[in-house]
Structure formats: C-alpha cells, structure tokens
C-alpha cells in the first residue's frame, strides 16, 4: 500500500510499504477513507519527537471501513464504518477502568522507553514514535487497529466523513481541554492558539456554558475563524499586549480558565521565545513554552490552566512560583478519547456542531509531503488538511 513515511527532520515521503496484517486477536484492519495532518505531526516534522525511525508511517487522525477483523474481536464486522481514536487502550487495566484511557497500561509495546524518560508509560499512539509503541499511522491506505473491539466508534451513514473524522483526535482534545477548565456559568475562558484544537476548545467552552471566550493567535485567518464560527473575542498577539488586554477585558481579574492549545513550539513577541529558541537550537532545552508561561501569568487567582498542547521534555523558566502564588490548578495530558467520542458523536448528530468547518485543504496521499510544508508555514490560509487516500490528486483547495 501507499503511506506517508517519516525519513528525518522535514523529510516526509510517500512510499510503498507492506499492507498491514492482523497480529493479535482483538485487531482489525481499516481501509482508510479519510485521514488528517495534525498540528502535533508538525512536532515530528520539526524533529522534536524522539525515537522516530526512518520509514515510520505517520498520522493518527483517521477513519475508514473495516476490511478484516481478528478472531477475538466480536464487536466489529467487515463493512463497519468507524472513526479510530488516536490513543490505543486495552479497556481492562486500572487506568482504562478509571476512564483515563490515554494512560492505558497495556497498549505500549515499548513502555520501557517511556518509563526511562517519564517514570511510567502512557498508552500507545498511532504514528507517534517508538516511545509510544511504534504503531504505523493512518496517513496511508490501510491501518491495523489494535484493541479494535474497544476503540473504533461506529458512525452512522447520515454523517459524512468530514463531519466525523475529527472525533479521532482534535474535537475530543479541544473538548477535554475545555472540560478540564471546570467551567461554571459566567466564566471567561482564554484560549492560546487558534489552530484546530484551539477552535474546538473555543466551541466546546461555549457548549459547556462559558459566558465569554477570548482567542489569542497572530494569523488573521485563524482569528477570523475563531470569531466567525467560534463567536470568540480575538486578540492578535503581534498587535496587542496580551496580558494587559486580558486584564482589561476581565476587569482586572484575569480569565477563570486558560487553555494552552499551542504546545512546545510556541512563538511570541516578547524576549523569552527567542531565549527558548536559542536554547533549543543548542539542545540545551527541549521545549519552547512561551504560551504556557503567558497563560499561567494571565490566569486569575485560583483558576485552572488546561494544557492540550503537547510538551515532551524539561521546561526552562517555568513560572511555578506564579502558579503557586495564585493557587492555580494545572490539568494536562493526552485526551481520554474513548470517554469523549460517543458523547461528541451525539452532539454532532444533534446538530450542535459540524466539525468540518475548520477544513481548508483536501488532498490525496501523494500531496502529503508538500502539504506538511504548507501546513507548517501556515501558507495559503492552511488550518486543517484532510487526506483522502482514495483520490489521486487534489480535490479542492
């Protein structure tokens, strides 16, 4: 089959690789009808994710049709149309039973690597390095799905691929980010980063009862989308002093919840992003946490900072003093996908949200390497790329 493979920093190639096969009883093989490039794939593209190997199949947001099931899988049958969660979970361990699905004990074959780095290993992930299991990803024609009797969500034919595809990661991720803010009626939520996760965090904050949502970015098209579809008030950080503006907008109190939907490669206009850039370029630091610093500093006393953005290593100049002084709560981690997918599918079915509004680009597999470049540069108004492996060339732009 054809697949988009990692070959090094800024080197993605579409290659012929062996078709996936059933390896375990609970497996299924899915013929992928729609897939996507995630902002977190850009961390791989930029060389920030350790334990990637040449030839690894990329991608963790995908859906498709079941074409084969393992002998122990009694939930799926050939022909089922499913969305696949990007986290892999067994369903039976302590963490799965606590609904902490992305922390599954039993789904990472390389748990020992993550244990060396983090003490304990989280769940396996599709297409996201060998530290997370080395599972081939979904920017491909087919994918093998482990524990497929518990993960994939069957979707009704009344909904299109584009309406349900983002249940695979970014909609639940934005939703959990908002839910982590424990929103009460009247709350103001600030969201750093108006990429896809930020967009869904904005919508989810309103769905969960926020009174106001303030969105922060520097790209006009992303801010426009946040305003038009998310009904957010927007701040362009290249034009305004964000902490001062947030103070002003909240009567000197600060937002009740702050969401960092940026992660480890933050940009900014103050001095600290340049300091981070210098240190990471010399391998003296692993992450550039400018957005997180600002979120901690801007958050109101006793507020919650929720972090859906990905971090990988040891943070420098992390303002724990400010977090302590203000009695903040920090909530973070990979999304507990299996918990959120069914309820969010219901919201889509009820018409509360149509997640396809963030799509800007639709491509075939062959264009994936070019599109990584476009997406990273945020050229051509690129916000979200959907890959349709069945098509040979671009559908529309």
Partner 1 sequence: MRSTARLHIDPATAHDTGNVERVVAVTTAAAAIAYGVSRRSVKGICLAAAATPLAYRGIRGTWPRLKDVLPSHGDTRTALGGSRGIHVRESIRLEMPLEEVYRFWRRLENLPRFLTHLDSVTDLGNGRSHWVAKGPGGLKGEWDAEIINEVENKVIGWRSLPGSEVVTAGSVAFSRVRNRQSTQLSVHLQYAPPGGRATAFLATLMGREPSQTIREDLRRLKQLLEAGEVPRAEPVPA
Find the part of the chain contacting partner 1 (CB under 8 A) among 100-108, 306-314, 353-361, 388-396.
100-108
Q: Where do the DSSP E strands lie in 93-180?
A: 124-125, 142-145, 153-154
Closest CA to 374 of 366, 385, 364: 385
Residue labelled with tokens 């994710």: 49
Task: For residue 112, state whether it binds partner 1 (rule: CB under 8 A).
Answer: yes
Task: For residue 92, state whether it binds partner 1 (rule: CB under 8 A).
Answer: yes
Task: For residue 87, state whether it binds partner 1 (rule: CB under 8 A).
Answer: no
Closest CA to 346 of 156, 151, 218: 156
Check if the beta carbon of residue 178 is closer than 8 Å to that of residue 208: yes
Measured from the CB atom, the residue of 152 and 195 that comes closer to partner 1 is 152
Task: For residue 55, state whether it binds partner 1 (rule: CB under 8 A).
Answer: no
d(CA 114, CA 189): 33
SS percent in the chain: helix, strand, coil, step 5? 35, 20, 45
Closest CA to 9 of 383, 372, 287: 372
Measured from the CB atom, the residue of 8 and 55 that comes closer to partner 1 is 55
Task: For residue 364, state whether it binds partner 1 (rule: CB under 8 A).
Answer: no
Backbone angles phi, psi at 231, to 5 degrees: 55, 35
- What is the smallest separation between the CB atom of 6 and partner 1, expressed in angstroms? 14
Indicate which single residue of 39, 124, 151, 172 sits in contact with partner 1 (rule: CB under 8 A): 124
- What is the smallest separation between the CB atom of 205 and partner 1, expressed in angstroms? 34
Task: For residue 274, state whether it binds partner 1 (rule: CB under 8 A).
Answer: no
Task: For residue 25, state whether it binds partner 1 (rule: CB under 8 A).
Answer: yes
DSSP letter at 259 equals E
Measured from the CB atom, the residue of 92 and 343 that comes closer to partner 1 is 92
d(CA 173, CA 194): 13
Indicate which single residue of 4, 5, 17, 26 sits in contact with partner 1 (rule: CB under 8 A): 26
Find the binding residues for partner 1 in span 32-51 (CB under 8 A). Answer: none
- What is the smallest separation between the CB atom of 94 and partner 1, expressed in angstroms? 5
Indicate which single residue of 54, 77, 97, 154 sits in contact with partner 1 (rule: CB under 8 A): 97
Task: For residue 99, state whether it binds partner 1 (rule: CB under 8 A).
Answer: no
DSSP letter at 58 equals P
Indicate which single residue of 61, 80, 105, 287 sits in contact with partner 1 (rule: CB under 8 A): 105
Task: For residue 134, state whether it binds partner 1 (rule: CB under 8 A).
Answer: yes
Q: Where do the DSSP E strands lie in the chain?
A: 2-8, 11-16, 28-37, 56-57, 61-69, 81-84, 87-88, 124-125, 142-145, 153-154, 188-192, 212-217, 233-236, 257-260, 304-307, 329-332, 361-363, 385-387
Indicate which single residue of 14, 42, 93, 322 sits in contact with partner 1 (rule: CB under 8 A): 93
Token couple for 99: 């609904």
Rounded (5°) CA angle 9-140-83: 115
Q: Between 138 and 167, how does the x/- string for binding to partner 1 read (CB under 8 A)?
A: --------xx--------------------
Measured from the CB atom, the residue of 108 and 168 that comes closer to partner 1 is 108
- What is the smallest separation between the CB atom of 25 and partner 1, expressed in angstroms? 6
List interacting residues with partner 1 (CB under 8 A): 21, 23-26, 72, 88, 90-94, 97, 105-112, 124, 133-136, 146-147
């Amino acid at each position: 089959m054809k697949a988009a493979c990692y070959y090094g920093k800024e080197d993605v190639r579409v290659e012929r690789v062996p078709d996936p096969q059933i390896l375990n009883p609970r497996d299924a093989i899915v013929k992928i009808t729609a897939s996507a490039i995630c902002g977190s794939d850009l961390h791989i593209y930029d060389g920030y994710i350790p334990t990637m190997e040449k030839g690894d199949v990329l991608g963790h947001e995908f859906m498709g049709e079941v074409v084969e099931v393992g002998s122990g899988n009694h939930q799926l049958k050939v022909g089922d149309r499913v969305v696949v969660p990007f986290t892999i979970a067994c369903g039976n361990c302590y963490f799965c039973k606590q609904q902490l699905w992305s922390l599954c004990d039993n789904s990472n074959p390389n748990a020992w690597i993550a244990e060396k780095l983090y003490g304990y290993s989280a769940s396996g992930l599709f297409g996201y390095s060998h530290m997370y299991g080395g599972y081939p990803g979904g920017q491909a024609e087919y994918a093998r799905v482990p524990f497929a009797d518990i993960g994939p969500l069957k979707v009704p034919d009344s909904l299109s691929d584009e309406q349900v595809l983002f249940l695979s990661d970014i909609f639940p991720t934005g939703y959990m980010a908002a839910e982590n803010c424990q929103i009460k009626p009247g709350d103001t939520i600030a969201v750093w980063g108006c990429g896809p996760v930020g967009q869904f965090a904005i919508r989810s904050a309103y769905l969960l009862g926020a009174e106001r949502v303030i969105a922060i970015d520097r790209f006009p098209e992303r801010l426009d989308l946040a305003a038009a579809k998310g009904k957010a008030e927007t701040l362009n950080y290249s034009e305004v002093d964000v902490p001062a503006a947030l103070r002003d907008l909240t009567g000197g109190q600060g937002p009740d919840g702050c969401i960092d939907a940026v992660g480890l490669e933050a940009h900014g206009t103050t001095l600290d992003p340049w300091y981070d850039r210098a240190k990471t370029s010399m391998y003296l630091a692993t992450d550039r946490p400018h957005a997180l610093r600002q979120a901690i500093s801007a958050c109101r006393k006793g507020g919650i900072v929720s972090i859906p953005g990905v971090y990988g290593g040891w943070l420098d100049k992390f303002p724990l003093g400010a977090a302590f002084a203000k009695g903040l709560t920090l909530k973070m981690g990979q999304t507990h996908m299996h918990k959120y997918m069914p309820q969010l599918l219901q919201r889509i079915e009820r018409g509360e949200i149509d997640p396809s509004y963030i799509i800007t680009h639709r491509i075939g597999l062959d264009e994936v390497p070019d599109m990584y470049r476009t997406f990273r540069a945020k050229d051509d108004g690129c916000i979200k790329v959907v890959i349709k492996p069945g098509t040979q060339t671009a559908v529309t732009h």
